[in-house]
Amino acid sequence: MTETHENKPLEVAPVEEKAPLPVVTTEADEKSANEEAPKPVFQVKEPDNDKNKAKPVSVDVSSIKMDILKALAEARSTIAVIKGDTQVKTEEKVSETSEVVEIRQPAEEAPVVPVSVPDVKTVESPKRSKSRSPVKRSSPVKEVVAADVDEFDMFAAAEMHDGAVLMSPTGPSVSAAAAATVQSNFDDADGYYKPSVGEILNGKYRVSGAVGKGVFSTVLRCHRVGDNAYDESNAVAIKLIRNNEIMREAAQTEVKILTELAEKDPRDKKHCVRLLDRFEHRNHVALVFESMQMNVREAMKKFGGKGGISLQAVRIFAKHLLIAISHLDTCGIVHADIKPDNVLLDDKQTMIKLCDFGSAFKLDEGKHDPTPYLVSRFYRAPEIVLGLPYDKAVDMWSVGCCLYEMFTGKVMFPGSTNNEMLKLFMELKGKIPNKLIKKHRQAYIDQFLMEPHFTGDNKFCSRELDRVTAKPVLRLMDVVKTKMDLGSALLSAKSSTDDRKLVLELRNLLERMFTLDPAKRITPTEALAHPFVKNEGKQGY
């Protein structure tokens, strides 16, 4: 829900025949090319601002032209059938099996007319797991899937405005199949909304660009329509939930939680992102949030390089995160997905807010059955991996992982599987307590029907790859030797301006956050009273 540049209306040069498309750049891009990156309020260890420069992309204009001609021919054919004109010219017919490229017309051109195609193709998204059933599509729309999470082109030259006429008012009523076709024009195969720059949402918000895409939604950067529309004070972030009943239900829970958090924080001092508005847009729940500059992971890449951010910044952010989870604790809410991506930084780089409450739940509602896969893996607490009941303590573990990563620039527990995560936990903190192992075995065998990570006599089953044969092997370990010293790791990341005593205070705080037994883990109230946080000055508050 953040953006590193000011987004103004994107101007796209028209495509000329036999000429390559120009590379479109924003005013912010041109400015950043000639000026130094804005210096953050906190000191940085190793600025690194020259990564990932954009490269021009060549486009085959002739192939695009042919695809457009095919689409127009099919549209003319179908319209003729609807009007009762069955004498369609043979040369204008398009094969039923041909693919159709979705076209969004500029506002000044003719409105888009959705086409209903007789046959129904079965298309399986490349990103779906093999166990899922193929999805039936009502029109063979060509899918362009990127290698990363961005499956749509936010900077397409054409647009689809809310005022576009979808069907001729004098034509027949839209059938269920045609309605499905219309919706498929707005959604991709997985139910994500496909927006376009300049599109107006709910008559109030103009799309400026894409922030990103997650499991539950697409996040857009928008500006309120009106005078000074592109002033930063009018910027908002809009989360468009996937067109899916399960996701819609989750969105209602998120709205309920955000509303309660805001009602119990009328002065906006608890560092939780604010929900400003909500509405429905083309069968998608839309949640409007205050706009923040970027998330902490992006800030670390931009300002911290490979060495993390300054100790002073970590102290400020530690206090803000602890205030946030303390507020959640007061409301009986668990966030359940705290990570640098879900921590937003303001434009002055002095304050952060916790965001993305899509996985959050109320402790007293009983809708949080144990699962070994809650929370993003690197920030997952031991009790989750073990399949045990969990509560607010999982958020404290995740905060500890975030603070370590902020300071060192490295992931605290970079396990590739839950089994490897347990091994890393024990290499830092020693053996998992036997009482937790006993409960873990019972949960895995009786509830999850999965093979436990420990034997009946409490030996750890380490699943590894043999170094010689590269084949999977199972090693039974009585004791997992502690290999990592937290103090040494933190001191090695210390810069010349970081106080050694403060680094050791951070180590003590993290040791208590990484207590394996959740019942003995430090609480938000205790953490806020810790010297590393309590003795911090007033800067940034």
Q: Which residue has the tokens 């996985």?
A: 359
Active-site option among 29, 119, 265, 337: 337
Judge residue 67's burial from the number of C-beta atoms within 10 Å of its C-beta, 0-12 exposed, 13-18 middle, 19 or more buried. middle
Please state, in angstroms and rounded to a whole number, the distance separating the CA atoms of residues 10 and 198: 8
Please state, in angstroms and rounded to a whole number, the distance separating the CA atoms of residues 361 and 379: 17
What stretch of H or E contains 248? helix 245-263
Q: Which residue has the tokens 């705080």?
A: 509
Q: Which residues of 290-314 are buried (b: 16+ CB within 10 A; e: fewer)?
A: bbbbbbbbbbbbbbbbebbbbbbbb
- The answer to whether 239 is annotated as binding is yes
Three-state secondary-structure class, residue 56 = coil
Please state, in angstroms and rounded to a whole number, the distance separating the CA atoms of residues 317 and 351: 7
What's the angle, vertex CA 22, arms to CA 147 and CA 67, rounded to 5?
A: 65
Nearest Cα residue to 401 out of 419, 368, 423, 428 = 428
Please state, in angstroms and rounded to a whole number, the distance separating the CA atoms of residues 59 and 449: 52
**How many CB atoms lie under 10 A from the CB of residue 87?**
5
Please state, in angstroms and rounded to a whole number, the distance separating the CA atoms of residues 380 and 105: 46
Contact call for residues 398 and 375 (beta carbons, < 8 A): yes
What stretch of H or E contains 209? strand 205-213
Please state, in angstroms and rounded to a whole number, the distance separating the CA atoms of residues 154 and 135: 24
Active site (annotated) includes residue 337: yes
How far does the chain reach from its first CA to its final CA, in angstroms? 22
**How many CB atoms lie under 10 A from the CB of residue 56?**
9
Contact call for residues 423 and 415 (beta carbons, < 8 A): yes
Contact call for residues 189 and 181 (beta carbons, < 8 A): no
243 Cβ contact list (under 8 Å, min separation 6)? 183, 187, 191, 192, 193, 283, 284
- Pseudo-torsion of CA 229, 234, 236, 238, nearest 10°? -40
| Token pair recorded at residue 521 | 């883990």
**Angle, nearest 10°, between helix axes 393-408 and 311-330?**
170
Catalytic residue positions? Answer: 337
**Which positions make up the binding site?**
239
